[in-house]
Amino acid sequence: MSILITGGAGYIGSHTDLCLLNEGYDIVVVDNYDNSSPEALRRVMELTGKTFPYYEADACDEEKLAEIMKKHGVDSVIHFAGLKAVGESVRIPLRYYENNLLSTIRLLKAMETVGVKKMIFSSSATVYSADNQVPLTETGKLGCTNPYGWTKYMNEQILRDAAVADKELTVVLLRYFNPVGAHESGRIGEDPSGIPNNLMPYISQTAVGRRDHLTVYGNDYNTHDGTGVRDYIHVMDLARGHVAAVRYADTFKGSDAINLGTGVGYSVLDMVHAFEEANHIKVPYVIGARRPGDIDTVYSNPAKAKEKLGWQAEKTLVDMCRDQWNWQSHNPNGYAK
C-alpha cells in the first residue's frame, strides 16, 4: 500500500515525504512544479537512501490521478497541492479558486473511482475568523479575509460534505499555524519564488544578502513589544504530524479538523533577535506600516493534536532559527543552480 502525495515537491510536502519514507511508508508524488523543483525530490531520495515514483502532473487531472493511484496501489492521500500566496490570491482570485478547489474536487472523484477512502488535507489557521480569542481551538468561529483563505475554508466544507455522503470516507483537516525552518541537513527547505511574503524566509534571505533589510509590519499592535505574534512551528514537527495523521485516519470514519501548532506565540522582533542570536548574524530591519489584513496575535491550542494524534511539537525556537539558516546559507538561491 502506498500514499499519494500531491504537491509533494513543495516545502511541507518534501519534508513529509522524507518522514514517511523514514517511517517505512511507500509514497508516490504528483506535482506540477508550479512552485517547486524536482530537485527537492532528488534530495529527499539522497537523504533517505530510498527511491519512489513521482509524476509531473496536475492535481486537477482526474484521469491521471486515478491512473496513478491504481497503478501504485494507493490507499490514502495527502493533499498539499495548492497555491498559497495571499497577496496574489487577492490580485488573481479566479486562479486560486480554480486551482485550489478543482484539485480537491477532482482528487475526491478520482479517489471515488479507484476506491481510496482516506485523505489528509492541508488546511490553515487562516480559516479562523479574526474575532476568536487566542489560543485558537478547533471549535472556533470560521471566516476569512482573502481568496486564499476562502479556498481553504471552502475545501474544508467540500471535504466535510464528501465525508457525510460517503460513510467509508475519512478526512483529516490539518490546520497549520506558521511553518518555518528546514530539515537539519540543510539539503531541503523552503524556496519561495520571488520576494517572500512570509517572515522567516524574508529574515533568512536578508541575512544571506539577497534582501537589503526586513520591514517589520507595524510596532503598534497590542502585544509585548508592539509587533505581531504568531505560532511558528518547525517544518519537521509539522511533517511528523502528517505521519501521525496517516495513522489516525485508520481509526475512524468521517471528518476531523486538528490544529498543528506549538501553542506558543512569538513576536516579529522575538524572531529577528532569536535568529540573530542562534546564528551570530545581523538582520537589518526597519519599522514600517501595518500590512492590511494582519492581526495582533495568533496562536493555537494544540491539545486536540496531542489527544487524537498523540503528537506534539518538539523543536525549539533555536532549532527553527538554526535550521532555517543552515538551509539558506548552504542554498542562498534555493534549489536554483
Site residues for ligand NAD per CB under 6 A: 6-7, 9-13, 30-36, 58-60, 80-84, 99, 103, 122, 124, 176, 178-179
The answer to whether 230 and 299 are in contact (CB under 8 A) is yes
Which residues 6+ apart lie within 8 Å of 133 measured at CB?
Answer: none
Helices (H), the chain: 11-22, 38-48, 62-71, 86-91, 93-114, 147-165, 199-207, 235-248, 268-279, 303-304, 317-330
Of 8 and 147, the one with the shorter C-beta distance to ligand UD1 is 147
Single out the segment in contact with ligand UD1 by CB under 6 A; choices: 7-15, 44-52, 215-223, 310-318. Answer: 215-223
The pattern of x and - marking residues 106 through 145 that bind ligand UD1 according to CB under 6 A reads ------------------x-x-------------------
The contact pattern for ligand UD1, residues 7-46, with x = CB under 6 A and - = no contact, is ----------------------------------------
Q: Report whether 175 contacts 257 (CB < 8 A).
A: yes
- Classify residue 167 by burial, with Cβ atoms within 10 Å: 0-12, 13-18, 19+: exposed
322 binds ligand UD1 (CB under 6 A): no
Could you tell me the end-to-end alpha-carbon distance of the chain, in angstroms, rounded to an integer? Answer: 35
Burial class (CB in 10 A: 0-12, 13-18, 19+), 220: exposed
Distance CA 31, CA 259 (A): 25
Residues 73-112 as x/- pattern, contact with ligand UD1 by CB under 6 A: -----------x-x--------------------------
Candidates 54, 148, 232, 248; catalytic one:
148
- Find the binder of ligand UD1 among 20, 182, 199, 272 (CB under 6 A): 199
In the numeric block, which cell numbers belong to residue 164? 457525510
Minimum CB separation of residue 10 from ligand NAD in Å reads 2
Known catalytic membership, residue 96: no
C-alpha separations of 85 from 128, 146, 195, 229, 251 in Å: 17, 10, 11, 20, 34
Which residue number is nearest to ligand UD1 in terms of Cβ? 228
Closest separation in Å from C-beta 318 to ligand UD1: 19
How many CB atoms within 10 Å of residue 337? Answer: 4
DSSP SS3 for 316: coil
> Judged by CB under 6 A, which of 215, 301, 316, 329 binds ligand UD1?
215
x-or-dash string of contact with ligand UD1, 166-195, rule CB under 6 A? ------------x-----------------
Question: Do the Cβ atoms of 4 and 68 come closer than 8 Å?
Answer: yes
| Residue 60 or 278 having the CB closest to ligand NAD | 60
Among 95, 291, 306, 330, binds ligand UD1 (CB under 6 A): 291
CA atoms within 13 A on the CB side of 243: 20
Would you say 68 or 163 has its CB closer to ligand NAD?
68
Active site residues: 148
Q: Which residues bind ligand UD1 (CB under 6 A)?
A: 84, 86, 124, 126, 148-149, 178, 197-199, 202, 214-217, 228, 230, 268, 291, 293-294, 298
